[in-house]
Structure 1
């Protein structure tokens, strides 16, 4: 017997509320909705942010900050993780990175320089840090940036 196979005895299970099925169910008359009012009516449900006509919280609080719509956030991948994920591969393309699940599919990728390289590899990514470029060049490999900027 496994934990997911354990179930309580039928008499220990709590019955669901049978709302609107008469007085004998214990939920008769107003069916547990109280007397009159908006929430007692059929088919009426207020929006989750509605506060009964009071000025909503989102409008009471001051607006703060700035959201940059042009900001690009990269998925960072360190060199040691690349070497660990591709032990026998000499050329690592962006499609291979997406296939292995190192970055979400279609997300821009930036290679960072944490870790040591023992062999020459060619890496294709959107951006490279200065330390990653240095380590790739030192090991005899190459970096194929997909954007013009390679520093930073």
Structure 2
């Protein structure tokens, strides 16, 4: 390989757009800028995000973080916490009365953390796939 034989890959060097070369070239007369207006002028520049005087999107949006409105009403319970309960059927009311979830909880999901030694029936609770298999392996069942 010699320095005088090195060439750019095909398509790496694009030819410059030659504007103002007649109406047959598709970029004649107005050179692809349309008719009049700020962007048709030489130096017709506006800053990034400028929306013609309208309040720009980045200034319209709130500057504080997102807070889920449903997060307050949902909770997560571990299998180890459920196994410590002395009941056979576990539902939302049982979890609230045993202080495992707050009183205003509407949705509960059971996650596969800990060991379940006995069979339990879960009613009306969300269950992860791992937790469901652990509950069924222990002889319990999950009802909708």
TM-score (norm 2): 0.49
TM-score (norm 1): 0.47
Larger radius of gyration: 2
